[in-house]
Amino acid sequence: MVVVGLTGGIGSGKTTILNYFKSLGVPIYLADDEAKALMNRSKVIKRKLVALFGEEAYKDDKLNRPYLASKIFNDKALLDKMNAIVHPKVASHFKRWLQKQSSTYVIKEAAIIFENNLQSQYHYIITVIADEDLRIKRVMKRDNTSKEKIKSIINNQLSDKEKAEKSDFVIVNNDLLVAKNQADKVHNEILQKIKHK
């Protein structure tokens, strides 16, 4: 099974484009959503996160996301420790999910691919990019957050230019219709590449 990675910075429109691929019949896997679900569901993860962050990691038996976010923001060592607990579980969940798929290819959305050198996990990588001012406006509207907060997240991520250079395909999501046309082209190119492999 061919696994395509889809990545992009905050507010670039990863989820939006991913849903478009889904409408084309491509099975999609949302690694971040699965990670969050597993953090709530898995007793092993819960025990390890409480050991790492303290009892406050969970509130009313639900993951206390704002608390965790405040702890790991700007603390790479702690983020790495959390990822070491969660990522192996997501990886095995993905493996089981993949075995159930029967399509030509699947897409796995992952906010971080190049940052952690995970390119080898994918046959092809698509990066969604968009102008920074648009990304900021979209996230401000969606999450009701400040411009400064979003800018600091953008500055913490690898730049669009660097990600685009390392990718097999780039979708520019400034205008949605244009982006969907590009996604159609990428979809057909991937199918062609797989056919001629």
C-beta of 52 vs 72, nearer to ligand ATP: 72
Determine if 157 is a binding residue for ligand ATP (CB under 6 A). Answer: no
* Among positions 24, 44, 84, 176, the unique one binding ligand ATP when judged by CB under 6 A: 176
Compute the distance between CA of residue 67 and CA of residue 172 in angstroms, rounded to an integer. 34
Q: Which residue has the tokens 């990675």?
A: 5
Q: Quick one: which segment of 117-125, 134-142, 157-165, 181-189 binds ligand ATP (CB under 6 A)?
A: 134-142
* Residue 3 dihedral angles phi and psi, to the nearest 5°: -110, 120
In the complex with ligand ATP, the residue whose CB is nearer, 179 or 186, is 179
* DSSP 8-state assignment for residue 146: -
Cβ-based nearer residue to ligand ATP, 63 or 183: 183
- Tell me which H or E stretch contains 58: strand 58-59
Which single residue is written with the structure tokens 């509207």?
Answer: 141
Q: What's phi and psi for 46, nearest 5 deg?
A: -60, -45
142 binds ligand ATP (CB under 6 A): yes
16 binds ligand ATP (CB under 6 A): yes
Query: Which residues in 95-114 contact ligand ATP (CB under 6 A)?
Result: 111
Please choose, from the candidates 126, 104, 96, the residue with its C-alpha nearest in 3D space to the C-alpha of residue 34.
96
| Chain residues that interact with ligand ATP, rule: CB under 6 A | 8, 10-16, 111, 138-139, 142, 173, 175-176, 179
